[in-house]
Chains A and B, each alone.
Chain A
Amino acid sequence: MVCHPRVIHPGTTMTSFLALIKKDFRSYFNSPIGLVAIALFLFITGFAFTAHLTQVNPHNLPEASLRGILYFMAVILLFICPFLSMRGFAEERKSGTIELLKTAPLTDTELVFGKYLASLFFLFLLLLATVEYPLILLVTGAPDKGPLFLSYLGLFLVGASFLAAGLFASSLTRSQMMAAVVTFVLLLTLWFLADVGGEIGEKISLISHLQSFSLGVFDLADIVYYLFFIAFFLFLTIRNLESERWR
């Protein structure tokens, strides 16, 4: 078998790219799974939010901030994101549509970015649905808006990192469940590195970089960490797709 570079006609690329994003984004709503995921996320985080404001936890005080529940929200994302990203390539493989995608006028990079952006839009929507929390805080108290905004930025970056790792896992297998399990184990390992890996573990850990955001501190190193994490897993996904041509 000889490896040929794909010939892509200019002009059709952007249309196909947008069509891919649209298709993948819609797939979250074609079945009830997307909305169920949002409802589940809201139900669980809503429980934490109520507890946070009504002092159910004696170690917390009712405070006009999301600081007390930010980690909890990130933990819930850790469970939800593998299910959002597992479809990515695994489903295409299983249903055989991956061949169609590969013959579409898109590079592997565009293919990966298209799928990733679609999942990112869904993540954005998921977090947007939690806008009730800051609104309640604004009505009942006087939250510090800087930390509030940065908390959401941190949460989005954590979720985006989960999705990037999930997309990579999805590109490795044709089984969606296997992709979700691999993603979850990988993320969990990276999460707990902060506790067991000493100082280096803390630098690599996904969760240790969330703290500054919750405090209201914008640390460039934390932003760069998440962006590099995303970029690296997308790069691995692209390399993995490319490898299928010569394997």
Chain B
Amino acid sequence: MKIESLRKFKYGANAIALTILVGAVMVLLFGLIDRHDLRWDFTANKELSLSDQTVQVLKNLDQEVQVTAFFRRGESPDDYFIRRKVGDVLKEYAYRSPKVHYEMVDPDLEVQKAIAENITTDGTIVFRSGSQRKDVYKSQLFNYDRFSEQALPEFTGEGLFTNAMVAITGESRKTVYFLTGHGEKNLEETGPNGYRQIKDYLTKENYEVKTLNLLTGGTSDSASLEDSNLLIIASPQHPFPEGEEELLISYLKKGGNLLLLLDPLLPSSCPRILAFLGVALQADLVLDPKRHFLLGMHYPVPFLSEHEITKPLKDKGMNPVLYLARGLTLKQPTLSTLRAEKLFESSPEGWGETTLNQKADAKFDKEKDFAGPVILGVTVGQLSKKKEEAESEPASPELQQGGPASQPVTENKQPRAVVVGDSDFATNGIIQVPGNMDLFLNMVSWLVGSKEAISIRPKTPEFRNISLTEGQAQFIFWFTQFAYPLLFLGIGGFVWWRRRLL
């Protein structure tokens, strides 16, 4: 009896050990295969194949990235399709890298999560790694061909997602300073004239936003102009004290970047900086009877020139709106290696009204007013090599006279600047007009030189929808639900009946 029990125990122990061993080997082998990306896309257009650049980025990812896509379960076909597409692509990212985790959240069902992430727009995709965050919006995900209704929109999400991951896992955040001390727009003000929304969006775009007062040395944090990637001067109301402009020109000469937003009615606060950049201000208010927002001619909707800043807007058919803008004139920048170019302008029918107190019933007076098209935005950047060789103009008198402007430019670091004859387009009041936020953020992006690090060709996603005729729908209903299953049921009944007879 004892020997029998011992034998059973031996066999039992052997069987259990073998089972555990086989299970363990299977788990190990599966884990090994699961770690390698042995996946093949069998869709006709290779829709789910991530680009080599993305795969490389995911391979090198050394930080955890949490992606939360806030999408309502909308009932429109577009909503359904976009949400599904985003989910599919993010799933593919998560498959390719164990560091990427994603979650699709319906903000209506999980309100707390939406509040915690400060979500105000449906279709916001939040990329987070540690304290770094970058948001991508539904409106950015597709390129629509405005000239052909037949053309399918292109999905640009992969480029945006990959760049967002690169941005939040990068070593340093770009710092954006807003100059204060001359009555500039207030970053904390939540009223229609404030810049609070701009500050929030820049923070969401992973920029570090600070204020800077050059005279008192007052900053929102301990930092100096030297540390900034971009300085924004938004509508200074008072002239710059002596020395401050020189300080800023010196900053530009060292390869600094400047976004200068100016308004009409006031004389220029910083004439030397403008001269350095090759921009002159017109003493006018731009009115555009041909292209303006619903509210009136003083809301011009400018024509956008071809530029890195404006291209995404043009692709999406977005038209930014300005409010009470002034005209600009192009001059030769102080440095011969720089070039000022128009970024956007009014329609030819628009003009720069000089009699500012008569704007209600203003008419173009060719004796006094500036004829259209009036330039409203200017970029200042490095001349391309070819242009530089072709245009070997002598340096401006200011450069030859000495002073900060004559200091040599730091090697390989050329300044960049954007000057806009309006600061209101970025205020809380009208920043939500489609195109305004994009315009502002694109300017910042171009100025800090963070043009998308990775360029990924957009793909045309396919949704093979079916539209059935009434007859086809009826046939499918009766055939698949009744006739076809009944056929098998009938055969089954026949078999059963035959076997009963046997």
Contact = CB atoms under 8 A, between A and B. Distances in A.
Asked if A and B are interacting partners, one says yes
Interface of A: 1, 29-32, 34-36, 38-40, 42-43, 46-47, 49-50, 53-54, 58-65, 129, 132-133, 136-137, 140-147, 149-150, 203, 211-212, 215-221, 224-225, 228, 231-232, 235-236, 239, 242-243, 246-247
Given A32-B493, A50-B477, A140 B468 contact: yes
Given A59-B73, A132-B479, A228 B30 contact: yes
Given A62-B468, A219-B38, A136 B480 contact: yes
Contact of A46 (B38, B472, B481): B481
B41 A216 contact: yes
A216 B42 contact: yes
A74 B47 CA distance: 25
Given A31-B496, A63-B464, A218 B39 contact: yes
Contact of A61 (B29, B463, B488): B463
A214 to B, nearest CB: 10
A62 B466 contact: yes
Contacts of B473: 53-54
Given A147-B43, A218-B42, A36 B484 contact: no
Contact of B480 (A58, A132, A218): A132
Contact of A129 (B30, B73, B92, B488): B488
Contact of B465 (A29, A64, A211, A221): A64
A42 B487 CA distance: 10
B495 interface: yes
Given A150-B42, A215-B48, A225-B30, A53 B476 contact: yes
Contacts of B480: 42, 46, 49-50, 132-133, 136
A61 B74 CA distance: 12
A5 to B, nearest CB: 13
Query: Looking at chain A's contact residues, is the secondary structure mostly helix, strand, loop, or mixed?
Result: helix
B118 interface: no
Given A54-B477, A132-B480, A63 B495 contact: no
Interface string B456-492: 0000001111111000110011011110111111011
Nearest to B463: A63
A175 to B, nearest CB: 23
A162 B415 CA distance: 67
Nearest to B92: A217
A29 B499 CA distance: 11
Contacts of B18: 239
B477 A42 contact: no
A61 B485 contact: no
A220 B468 contact: no
B77 to A, nearest CB: 5
A39 B492 contact: yes
Interface stretch (B19-27, B124-132, B248-256): B19-27
A47 B476 CA distance: 10
Interface stretch (B7-15, B60-68, B136-144, B404-412): B7-15
A246 to B, nearest CB: 4
Contact of B492 (A35, A136, A236): A35
B110 interface: no
A85 B482 CA distance: 27
Contacts of A141: 464-466
B21 to A, nearest CB: 11
A221 B481 contact: no
B42 A61 contact: no
A217 B40 contact: yes
B77 A61 contact: yes
Contacts of B481: 43, 46-47, 50
A140 to B, nearest CB: 5
Contacts of A132: 479-480, 484
Contact of A224 (B29, B463, B468): B29
A235 B480 CA distance: 39
For the complex of A and B, the 5 pairs showing the least CB-CB separation, nearest first, are A35-B492, A146-B42, A46-B480, A32-B492, A220-B38
B33 A39 contact: no
A246 B7 contact: yes
Contact of A36 (B7, B479, B492): B492
Given A46-B480, A217-B48, A220-B39, A32 B495 contact: yes
A140 B73 CA distance: 28
A132 B259 CA distance: 63
B39 A217 contact: yes
B466 to A, nearest CB: 4
